[in-house]
Amino acid sequence: MTTLSTIPVPLPELTAPSVWPASAVTARGGDVSVGGVPLAELAERYGTPVYVLDEAEVRARAAAWRRALPDADVVYAAKAFLCRAMVDWMEQEGVGLDVCSAGELELAASRGFPADRIVLHGNAKSPRDLRTALRLGVGRIVIDSECEIARLAAHVPGPEAQQVMVRVLPGIAAGGHHKISTGAEGQKFGLSIAGGDAEDAVARILGQPRLELVGLHMHLGSQIASAEPYARGVRRVVAFMARIRDRYGVTLPELDAGGGFAVAQLPGEPAPSPAAYGRRINDALVRACAEFDLPLPRLTVEPGRSIVATAGVALYRVLAVKRTGGRVFAAVDGGMSDNPRPALYGARYTVRMVGRPSAAPMRATTVVGRHCEAGDVLAESVELPEDLRPGDVLAVPASGAYQVSMASGYNLTGRPPVVAVAGGRSRLLVRRETFEDHRGRDVGL
């Protein structure tokens, strides 16, 4: 018999845009279910910290990008989070992969992902990265510095030329933090349009018979909560494409607008939909091409965070509650080893207690990690019940991107597992890292 305590009701935090997966519901008993599975149950079964990934949410967000830009190539930015299941989901949803290393390439290859739908970029590709890309036959390699040109050309086995793009700097500052703003002048990524470096690279590539220049690539940054910087960037890149046509007689057929599309990490934060981004980017591209009398290039976008972030929920168990200096601290069994983003970028999250009801008043509480760093803070001054105690489970939504993928072995605590939920069932995607894993790597006897 269904009781009032088991009737699922929408989370109050499910505002638009939401920080929770669409499947998230709560009952009056105090728990939250994602994908039909109670979070407290997952914490008990898999231990904590644990990362929960809603498969349906991942697929729905990938499909939303495909609908937003049906005539474009959508490639998932694998650096946000990659595992074998993610490779499979992206392939099944018709989405390509944007990778940055031989490791990501090999993982994709292990699942039979079509190499021609893979884009490799990075500001410092190792010889192994390039050899792996050429061996597997990736579709595009994005050149990020002039010294890569001859190095890459020397290793192309032939007889066909390797298709490449040039990452250009359009001179636009955008992003949620200066450490993740990558489209402005004077930083490590790309080649400057204004300074002439991009044109020099284009001329050198056009002189390499083993390389085929097919387009230009830009990436403005991360957590960009407006489509306007993309529109400005597209116009500047198209203007540069027109200059290449006029000076070298080459009309480039592709333009990669990059990624960095924002998601809400706190309820109510601005996060345009894929459709909103898509409309503005496509409109800017059409207008710019008309202005410079260019045919429309094939457009590529690289959403990563906007596909996987809101699909993920991190679960921690409270180890200690401390009231000192007029503040309340809740220390949990994870921290900057599984989520370095607050320490690196000042990223902010909302936190919810799950697994038991509480009638206690809410109190501003700072959730801190277990590591010996004053900066090991997961969430500053979030509202949690005043009767919070050791053993309680805390859920942190919007945790699917750049957490597990950036996790470290600090203090040998072991990186957390990743669990997928769908249709009321759970399955382990990535197991917990153990001491045996660490000991196996330590060969200095």
State the catalytic residues. Answer: 372
Which residues neighbour 420 within 8 Å (Cβ) at sequence distance 6 or greater? 35, 52, 53, 54, 55, 85, 426, 427, 428, 429
345 is in an annotated binding site: yes
Contact yes or no for 343/373 (Cβ under 8 A):
yes
370 is in an annotated binding site: no
410 is in an annotated binding site: no
Q: Taking the CA atoms of the chain, what radius of gyration do you get in angstroms?
A: 23
The residues that bridge with 52 in the sheet, in sequence order, are 313, 419
Distance between CA atoms of residues 369 and 406, nearest Å? 16
Which residues neighbour 445 within 8 Å (Cβ) at sequence distance 6 or greater? none
The DSSP element (H or E) to which 274 belongs, if any, is helix 274-291
* Cis preceding linkage at 295, omega within 30: no
* Among candidate residues 279, 325, 270, the one with its CA nearest the CA of residue 299: 279
Distance between CA atoms of residues 251 and 267, nearest Å? 45
111 is in an annotated binding site: no
Tokens of 222: 């991360």
Instruction: Dump the DSSP string for 386-401.
Output: TT--TT-EEEEES-SS
Place of tokens 């503040």: 327
Distance between CA atoms of residues 404 and 422, nearest Å? 20
373 is in an annotated binding site: yes
Question: Could you tell me whether strands 362-368 and 327-332 are parallel, antiparallel, or unpaired per DSSP bridges?
Answer: parallel
* Among candidate residues 223, 270, 267, the one with its CA nearest the CA of residue 382: 267
Distance between CA atoms of residues 390 and 322, nearest Å? 10
Amino acid at site 97: L
For residue 31, the Cα-to-chain-centroid distance in whole angstroms is: 28
Amino acid at site 260: G
The residues that bridge with 23 in the sheet, in sequence order, are none
The conformation of residue 190, written as its DSSP 8-state character, comes to S
The conformation of residue 432, written as its DSSP 8-state character, comes to P
302 is in an annotated binding site: yes
Strands (E), 121-176: 140-143, 162-169
Annotated binding site for pyridoxal 5'-phosphate: 260, 302-305, 402
Annotated binding site: 260, 302-305, 341, 345, 373, 402
Annotated binding site for substrate: 305, 341, 345, 373, 402
